[in-house]
Amino acid sequence: MAAISRDEVAHLARLARIEMSSEELDHLASELDQILHAVDRVQEAAKDDVPPTSHPLPLKNVTRPDVVIPSLSPEDALSGAPASDEQRFKVPQILGDAE
């Protein structure tokens, strides 16, 4: 039983805006399937006494005081942008709707 279907991979590719050929989808579906099976094996080893974790360090409540730190200049902020206009990042036409 495959852990991930070719259709699911195609769906993820669409969500991630990655164009994939039919061959690439076949190839990636098979690779991702192997990876997910490997993760399943790890999960078998983790019993109820192992809590799910998002972080390898036993840290919590790392915060900073609410004190303003100088921001980048707009020139620096925009320096890595492929395009800018009116001191704003310029991006191609967006499909969908404005928030």
Partner 1 sequence: MALTYDDVIAKYEPTLGLEVHVELNTNTKMFCGCSTEFGGEPNTQTCPVCLGLPGSLPVVNEVAIESAIKIGLALNCSIAPFSRFARKNYFYPDMPKDFQISQYDEPICVNGFLDVEIDTDEGVKTFRVEIERVHMEEDTGKSLHVGGSTGRIHGAEYSLLDYNRAGIPLMEIVTKMIPGTEKYAPQVARAYVTELRDILRSLGVSDVKMEQGSLRCDANVSLSPRGSGTLGTRSETKNVNSLRSVERAIHGEMIRQGNRLENGERIIQETRHFLEESGETRPGRSKETAEDYRYFQEPDLVPVAPDASWIEEIRATLPERPSVRRKRLQTEWAVPEKEMTAMINAELLDTVEATVKLGADPTKARTWWLGEISRVANEKEVEAISLMTPAQVAEIILLVASGELTDKLARQVVEGVIAGEGTPREVIEKRGLKVVSDDSALMAAIEAAIASQPDTAQRVRDGNIPAAGALIGAVMKATGGQADAARVRELLLKHLGQ
Residues binding partner 1 (CB under 8 A): 12, 15-17, 54-55, 57, 59-69, 71-74, 77-78, 80, 85-94, 96-99
The token pair at 6 is 């070719």
The CB-of-89 to partner 1 minimum distance in angstroms stands at 4
Q: Which residues have a Cβ under 8 Å from the Cβ of 81 and sit 6 or more positions away? A: 89, 90
Which of 27, 1, 2 has its CA nearest to residue 10? 27
The CB-of-92 to partner 1 minimum distance in angstroms stands at 6
Residue 17 gets the label, from left (phi > 0), alpha (psi -120 to 50) or beta, of: left
Q: Which is nearer to partner 1, 23 or 86 (CB)?
A: 86
The CB-of-52 to partner 1 minimum distance in angstroms stands at 8
Contact 4, 20 (CB under 8 A): no
